[in-house]
């Protein structure tokens, strides 16, 4: 696991200036010319479950992507910007799953959908993309769901090792709340209210020890036998401890682990037009390139 990298400090001032100039809310979308064309299709036998496919000119592997949104909002299309950049940088197709959202569909509906999409991709990747090099990744709730999907692939299908690597960005791995979650403030994107609303929407009626069940909070799972993973997080993220703890446990379980901690980066930092975000993308693409072989 990489220790703190002081070379990133040189990128902090530019990041501060860019963030200060951005309007409130999510960063603006990239220009259409920067996006790969997206193709939406339903899974065979599951007309209610669709995936969105972004395919660059060169395809060395394919990543199942799981979007964020606190289990309650979002869609694959909202990640077209980041997925297009990663697809081109790493030479991978990206297949983003349009899983069901809470509160209309509570846990485990989202994990069920991600599991179904993962099994479909493992079975069809060579026919559809010419490669059986499959990866998985997501950000925020998408990173959580990616970890839970890997656990299901291992425990139900003996298939986790067929996934070459995991790209896990700012996941929530403990819904009973890590220290950094408990210390969150209204000034942070994941404020106490947002964190509370996510828990109530996705896991209604559950609290405390119930939320530490490994099928909900993967930090408490047996993590042995999982693929290499790169964990990325910023120091100004309410989920900082989730990533620090999960990366440590991933490594202690015997899995290849890379941890990247970005100074002063916030929850949405990888979608921001900063040199820090570009460096995070470069490191993620390098990790994927290495594990594609």
Calculate mean pLDDT across residues 45-56: 97
Coil, strand or helix at 254: coil
Phi, psi of 100 (to 5 degrees): -70, 145
Predicted local confidence at residue 25, as pLDDT: 65
pLDDT at 33 over 90: no
Least confident piece of the model among 21-25, 157-161, 202-206 = 21-25
The confidence score (pLDDT) of residue 3 equals 67
Rounded-to-integer distance, Cα 188 and Cα 265, Å: 11
Q: What are phi and psi of 35, to 5 degrees?
A: -100, 140
6-21+34-292 topology per CATH? Rossmann fold (3.40.50)
pLDDT at residue 22, as a whole number: 81
Residue 3 or 120, more confident: 120
Q: State residue 193 phi and psi, 5-degree precision.
A: -65, -45
pLDDT in tens, 239-268: 999 999 999 999 999 999 999 999 999 998
pLDDT at 41: 97
CA torsion, points 96, 189, 168, 84, in degrees to nearest 10? 40
Q: What are phi and psi of 223, to 5 degrees?
A: -100, 15
Q: Is the whole-model pTM more than 0.85?
A: yes
Residue in this structure with the two tokens 């990128």, named with its chain if needed? 11
Euclidean distance between CA atoms 271 and 79, whole angstroms: 9
Rounded CA separation 272/268 (Å): 7
Residue 221 or residue 268, greater confidence: 221
Please state, for a pLDDT cut of 90, what percent of the chain lies above it: 90
Average of per-residue pLDDT across 219-237: 97
pLDDT tens digit sequence for 135-157: 999 999 999 999 999 999 999 99
pLDDT band at 192 (very low <50, low <70, confident <90, very high): very high
Copy the structure tokens of residue 246. Answer: 């999960």
CA-CA distance, 186 to 239, in Å (whole number)?
14
Q: What is the mean pLDDT of the chain?
A: 95
Give residue 186's pLDDT.
94
**Is residue 127's pLDDT more than 90?**
yes
What was the pLDDT predicted at 106?
98
The predicted structure's pLDDT at residue 1: 64
């Amino acid at each position: 696991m990489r220790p703190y990298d002081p070379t990133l400090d040189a990128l902090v001032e530019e990041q501060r200036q860019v963030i200060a100039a951005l309007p409130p809310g999510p960063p603006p979308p990239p220009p259409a010319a920067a996006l790969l064309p997206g193709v939406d299709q339903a899974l065979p036998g599951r007309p209610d479950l669709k995936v969105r496919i972004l395919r660059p000119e060169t395809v060395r592997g394919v990543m199942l992507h799981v979007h964020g949104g606190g289990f309650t909002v979002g869609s694959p299309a909202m990640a077209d910007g980041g997925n297009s950049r990663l697809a081109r940088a790493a030479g991978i197709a990206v297949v983003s799953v349009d899983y069901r959202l809470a509160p209309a569909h509570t846990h485990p509906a989202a994990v069920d959908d991600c599991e179904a999409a993962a099994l479909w991709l493992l079975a069809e990747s060579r026919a559809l993309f010419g490669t059986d090099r499959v990866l998985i990744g997501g950000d925020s709730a998408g990173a959580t769901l990616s970890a839970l999907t890997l656990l299901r692939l291992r425990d139900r299908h003996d298939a986790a090792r067929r996934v070459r690597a995991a790209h896990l960005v700012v996941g929530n791995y403990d819904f009973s709340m890590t220290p950094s979650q408990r210390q969150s403030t209204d000034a942070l994107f994941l404020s106490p209210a947002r964190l509370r609303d996510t828990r109530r929407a996705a896991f209604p009626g559950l609290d405390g020890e119930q939320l530490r069940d490994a099928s909900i909070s993967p930090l408490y799972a047996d993590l042995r036998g999982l693929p290499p993973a790169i964990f990325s997080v910023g120091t100004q993220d309410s989920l900082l401890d989730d990533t620090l703890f999960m990366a440590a446990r991933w490594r202690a379980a015997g899995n290849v682990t890379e941890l990247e901690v970005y100074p002063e980066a916030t929850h949405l930092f990888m979608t921001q037009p900063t040199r820090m975000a570009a460096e995070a993308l470069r490191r993620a693409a390098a990790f994927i390139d290495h594990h594609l072989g």
